[in-house]
Amino acid sequence: MRATEIAVCPGMLHIGGMKFTRMASVMIAGFALALAGAQAADEPKKNTPDVNHVNAKQAEKLVAEKQVIVLDVRTPAEFKEGHISGATNIDFRGPDFAKRIGQLDKSKAYLVHCAAGGRSTQSLPILKQQDVKTVYHLDGGFNAWKKEGLPVEK
């Protein structure tokens, strides 16, 4: 691997003989971070002691066997457009999200999802903080559920 020369001058960044404004440098760095995050999102999730990651078919089985309460963390508008039958809607972006999670029955198992997995993944530490013991995460979210052709309630 060859070393690349990097120089910082007032208002400019020089990388390997190419000149970039600071704004362009920030944009390049942001793009690189976003790309790394997208690649990480595509990697299969590993189960942890706190969270069991499931695909849509596995989630359907849990729901059908009434082993979980479905926790939909999308907005009320998204929920109204369609949701898993029997789901409880608690908006992750709502100001009272943590408080409402704290009011859940901690002895129950929950299947948490959003549209694609981003918000529900972000909600996992809050579920843990609020002492929810058994959590299943629907990888790919409601989009994965619909892609499998599973039933949607409106």
Active-site residues, by number, are 114
Q: How many CB atoms lie within 10 A of CB 109?
A: 14
**Non-local CB neighbours of 88 within 8 Å, separated by 6+ positions:** 69, 70, 71, 72
Strand order in the sheet with 18-21: 6-9, 12-15, 18-21
Round to whole Å and give the CA distance between 22 and 5. Answer: 17
CB 123 within 8 A of CB 141: no
DSSP letters, 66-96, are: T--EEEE-S-HHHHHH-B-TTPEE--TTSTT
